[in-house]
Amino acid sequence: MILVLSNNYSHIKEKLSEAGLKVTHQRIVIMDSILRLDNHPTVEQIFDLIRDANPSLSLGTVYKTVETFVNNGLLSKVSTNEGQMRYDPKLHNHGHIYCGNTSEIIDYYDEELNDMILNFFKKKKVNNLKIKNITLQINGDKIDPEKDILIK
């Protein structure tokens, strides 16, 4: 059986153009790998995924490209306790649960929690601050590393 991949990367080309970036093969490959990894990857993880198929790409190039994506609003940075920079293609308002013992970052969003924080700041009468967004990061360890974290 021959598996034909019909992915023509049109969604990625569109993203790059909308961000005002030139559409290059390199940028497409790097953005595609970030979307496929879907785990808030590090530059090294991105590089590992694409190096075999793209031997001319260096780790430095991946790093520079990812920073360009951040500067043009295509990715946001997530820092971890280990001081490792991770990258997030999901740009909607959400928080993270970071598991120190498994290095997982789990997306988390709760309207009720956001409202509670906003109300808290309102009640405390914080002066001279306009809150634009709330990015909450909860750091912890998985109790059983083999199991998923369940949020009710």
Detail the residues annotated as belonging to a binding site for Zn(2+).
Answer: 99
Cα dihedral 6→53→42→151 (10° resolution): 40
Question: Which residues are CB-neighbours of 70 under 8 A, at least 6 positions away?
Answer: 76, 77, 87
88 lies in the site for Zn ion, by CB under 5 A: yes
| Contact (CB, 8 A) for 47 and 35 | no
The nearer residue to Zn ion, 42 or 57, going by C-beta atoms, is 42
CB of 45 to Zn ion, least distance (A): 15
107 lies in the site for Zn ion, by CB under 5 A: yes
Q: Rounded to an integer, what distance in angstroms lies between the CA atom of residue 36 and that of residue 24?
A: 18
98 lies in the site for Zn ion, by CB under 5 A: no
CB of 56 to Zn ion, least distance (A): 30
Q: Which residues bind Zn ion (CB under 5 A)?
A: 88, 90, 107
